[in-house]
A = this chain, B = another copy of it.
């Protein structure tokens, strides 16, 4: 083992470990000469401090735990990216733990965060999280928790989410502004509060305009969305617009429209709530209301820093939505 430690450096130079330690941190007490010698040697030996020793001493690590159903696609990747970027600026790294929507793995992930004495946890609940308690108990060991996206319905936890209601009503407005008269709106899992909020807000907004027909449907995956499109576009009266609650639904809808050779936007308009990646895959690009995982990440990180610094933190914050025009409406 060729691992270099402060001790090794101190022995070579004939000084004490603490001198080396201080020299490396550019401590004002140490003479310029000593500093130079220490730094040079450390550099040439490729010294890297042992984080575990540092953490042990500090009683916390420069790691954040990030517990999430999946890192890929449809939203979380951009959240993670932005948390990682922000964290890097402050010297933090990310311990990413995917639960795959499995409650056992989720519980275990919380334990791993505890054992690692992470500086904080970013958590997005699994669809079937049974017990939020273990998250809350992290507070006992001084680990702050920020919930994002899929958050528990609890008063006293810190949550950051996209502005669902706002996004959904913006989408409705965009459809009405284009004079759409017969709208197929496809939403996701109705169990989730996020879905119910979006439906309520969307249909209320549509209802403001008399005479618009609205068909609300649910799809749990792209395939079901494709099926819905096939069903509705074989009808006598075809929808003149399709609204997709998520990227996942959007991909299913587009596949269905392609299969039926339906031209967008000539024969029907398409509008999605999206993070922005999938709409750009198509031609014409899909018009969407953006709920940015990236922005959400930035916000979550800011909240985390406040918690760590023991500043006052707002319990619930949302990031706004905005309409991004493609050519699909």
Contacts and interface: CB of A to CB of B under 8 A. Distances in A.
A96 B94 contact: yes
B49 A115 contact: yes
Contacts of A55: 52
A258 B328 CA distance: 13
A53 B115 CA distance: 10
Interface residues of A, number: 55
A127 to B, nearest CB: 17
Interface string A95-121: 111101000010010011011110000
A59 B1 contact: yes
A94 B56 CA distance: 20
Nearest to A111: B48
A56 B256 CA distance: 55
How many copies of the chain does the oligomer comprise? Answer: 2
A246 interface: no
Nearest to A257: B283
Contact of A81 (B98, B116, B140, B283): B98
A50 B81 contact: no
Interface of A: 1-3, 46, 48-53, 55-56, 59, 61, 63, 70-73, 77-78, 80-81, 84, 88, 93-98, 100, 105, 108, 111-112, 114-117, 137, 140-142, 251, 254-256, 258-259, 277, 281-284
Given A50-B115, A73-B73, A259-B284, 15 more contacts: A2-B140, A2-B141, A46-B137, A48-B115, A49-B115, A51-B115, A51-B116, A51-B117, A53-B56, A81-B98, A84-B97, A88-B105, A254-B281, A255-B281, A281-B281
Top 3 A-B pairs, shortest CB-CB distance = A72-B77, A258-B283, A52-B55
12 contacts: A2-B140, A2-B141, A3-B59, A50-B56, A52-B56, A63-B95, A71-B72, A71-B80, A73-B277, A81-B98, A84-B98, A94-B95
